[in-house]
A and B are shown apart, each in its own frame.
Chain A
């Protein structure tokens, strides 16, 4: 049985910038444990001759020619930004949360 502690859930949530309440952590920890358990059961059937699979298609070396293609204008790029200044994305102070 895989186990995931409350502390681990809280840490992962923090890394992923997901704000979880204590109650949510209590609820999610056992649910995540069940998911991990399901994944563990795959390990039971995977034998040594089955390589771990990270990609759904068996392709390698899909490369692009090094040729410039048109992108966005600055106006287009910034159109969805909540705030801009001097043709740049304006973001809140960066180290404030530490």
Chain B
């Protein structure tokens, strides 16, 4: 491993990203089985997705529509005519012994996505977006690690086999230099935002709705040739995309600096240790023996249909970011941090749910970002919704809780104790502004601190802070601090007027 900065003094990285998006259609790509996540094993299956003899696939029109919308949102051309192709391989995750995909005729091609990286716009060129189907899920049994190596046998659940996938492939991204890891991360984040805005996928990386493969190669600085690449599979969080790129840059650099050759291969990403290990050597494209799928007729979207779908696209992401920043009154830095944390959509939904922009930003980027970081998950994976965050802020605005108590409400919601109001109720977190209870606590504080009380009587109003602190402590932080102050001054005859 070579130090990252040293590696980038000697080499230029080229990135390529392949992102698989599982569509949220009701049914699978080629049959009427439910495409819902999970389910008891092998209950979302039929003869078609099990590849039984005599079964015939039929294309899900909604999936084609989603594919075209994704293509258009990525500024792609849409094929006037294209076919599906069989990708032949023997692996039990596909019971047909081939995956129905697209080969040299993708539905969408030649597009781009403009990505914001620390306030700088980076254009990522899209080579293609094509339609295919997901594979079944294998569980490896035996061996020590539960991984494929050393397993004695595997168990396969085909519920996922046949769920519509769109694979989005970038052209080599060059010129990012030291920012390559950030560009990779920002691309996946902003692609996910776009997919969510289109409403075509749940796009949850933790559930595998959105999966990234990271291709990386290095070339000697100044060279215009691409080096040999590695393909790191299934990197399943934004943070991991960034880390995997960093790791592979350091690994390739060390190999090349020693005068050795990088092996073209797939690599496995290990979330826990942050390293990649060798997978299999990459087969040549010919080895899949692609040929046009004879059981499915070509897809030829009419210009009229494509234009209709263009009319359904959400706002262009770059324009949208500029509009939101103006609406919310965020500084460039605040906006950059919000985008960088993958919180743009979450903050937006929180504001839509009624929270003030700065409050929404504060909770997601401080309190919740800290918790996500501690748990090693993405913000969007936390067990709290933007509506719940907005409700907690509303409780603060209504004076029912203060910021400190709000943090405990976050604890409760994240622990699965229910909605914010229920957590406040169950944990007894509401601020006490009832004068009876407060008055007694204030009397206690005055009695316990006669010196301080005397100062206040003598006009040193600033000393009230010490008594307020004592009352808050006795009330376990659940007192309305403003009311406590009023009561103290009232009782000691030191009104501020």
Contacts and interface: CB of A to CB of B under 8 A. Distances in A.
B287 interface: yes
A88 to B, nearest CB: 4
Q: How large is the interface on B (under 10, 10 to 19, 20 to 34, 35 or more residues)?
A: 35 or more
B37 interface: no
Contacts of A87: 40-42, 157
Contact of A68 (B32, B138, B148): B32
B299 A85 contact: no
18 contacts: A15-B88, A54-B83, A55-B298, A60-B298, A61-B300, A62-B297, A66-B26, A71-B31, A72-B45, A73-B43, A77-B50, A77-B158, A78-B42, A86-B155, A88-B42, A88-B156, A93-B142, A94-B151
A60 B42 contact: no
- 6 closest Cβ contacts across the A-B interface? A69-B32, A63-B61, A71-B46, A66-B62, A88-B155, A54-B292
A66 B58 contact: no
B92 A91 contact: yes
A89 B42 contact: yes
Interface centre among A16, A66, A85, A86 (most CB of B within 10 A): A66
A69 to B, nearest CB: 3
A60 B31 contact: no
A61 B139 contact: no
B456 interface: no
B25 interface: yes
B33 interface: yes
A65 to B, nearest CB: 7
B418 interface: no
Contacts of B149: 95
B100 interface: no
Contacts of B46: 69, 71-72
A60 B300 contact: yes
A17 B154 CA distance: 20
A50 interface: no
A88 B32 contact: no
Contacts of A69: 27, 31-33, 46
Given A54-B83, A71-B44, A71-B45, A66 B151 contact: no
Contacts of A60: 81, 297-300
Contacts of A71: 31-33, 44-46, 49
Interface string A27-60: 0000000000000000000000000001101011
Given A88-B157, A92-B153, A93-B152, A64 B32 contact: yes
A91 B156 contact: yes
A85 B157 CA distance: 11
A8 to B, nearest CB: 11
Contacts of A78: 42
B388 interface: no
B59 interface: yes
Given A60-B298, A71-B31, A94 B60 contact: no
A1 interface: no
A54 B155 CA distance: 36
B298 A72 contact: no
A17 to B, nearest CB: 6
Contacts of A17: 90
Nearest to A64: B58
Contact of A59 (B40, B64, B83, B297): B297
B340 interface: no
Contacts of B50: 72, 77
